[in-house]
Copies of this chain bind each other. A is one copy, B any other.
């Protein structure tokens, strides 16, 4: 049995946010602004967070990296699809979430999230002053689990190019795979497939991008292993994405590429507002709207029933990249 220490998760997450910001500022040359926020304890949601965001900069047109730690009196159904019996319980959630929208259409948009949830034993009506889990609590193991807090981890990262590139796709997926290598050979194929299934626009019959990895409800075999897996995913984000930015940031683009980027960003909006559980969880649980919707692209276009011309570079995205493929 491993020791459950939620404070150490929080320490890791805040440090991860700092390291990612340092890496992104080096890529961009600009400085992210920092917005700390706090919600007073209330009937719905309390807690706080620190949003780091940059807009209209050199590499990034809009890029946000959010840390948050919230406590609520009622876990919304979107928080755990696998264990609906936990809905309605008091909960804590902490995580780092990022969405980066580069200006250059040849640099892909990327998303990464790592998170830890704790569902408290019973609904305490109107109360959110649940004690945090401290070091030494046994967590999910052993008898009497119904009367104890239940914790789980989730996360992943996925890439959304506008103009696909095999080298980038292989690199991104290889890095995702490396992040999961210490956790068993079956883990990467499982989380890769989960990502393909999760980031899928049912109403378009189209994946959001070229995938990556996604996991949720991770609570086996023990706290230490699950926490280590989450850390490995977080630590592999910069190595997965930064080399792609460096390779593509100087590719020349014109109005045609910008226009296609704006059109494709519409799919990103559709996915996040209609399907994404993280977004819906945030909006349903009374989260901070401006932090949640940092994922929205800066400039987006919709047009009716548009399709790329056959043989065009835009058509290649649909034909070669917007399908689930084995990249490594």
Contacts and interface: CB of A to CB of B under 8 A. Distances in A.
B303 A300 contact: no
A122 to B, nearest CB: 27
A289 B62 contact: no
A19 interface: no
A298 B302 contact: yes
A299 interface: yes
B273 A290 contact: no
Given A294-B304, A299-B299, A301-B299, A274 B266 contact: no
A283 B274 contact: yes
Interface in A58-83: 62, 64
Contacts of A216: none
Query: From DSSP, what is the main secondary structure of chain A's interface residues?
Result: mixed
Interface string A270-303: 1001100000100100000110111011111111
Q: Number of copies of this chain in the oligomer?
A: 2
A306 B266 CA distance: 21
A8 to B, nearest CB: 31
A228 B217 CA distance: 52
A65 to B, nearest CB: 12
Nearest to A297: B302
A35 B305 CA distance: 10
Interface of A: 35, 53, 55, 62, 64, 202-204, 262, 266, 269-270, 273-274, 280, 283, 289-290, 292-294, 296-305
12 contacts: A35-B305, A62-B303, A62-B304, A64-B304, A202-B283, A203-B283, A203-B289, A262-B299, A269-B273, A274-B283, A297-B302, A299-B300
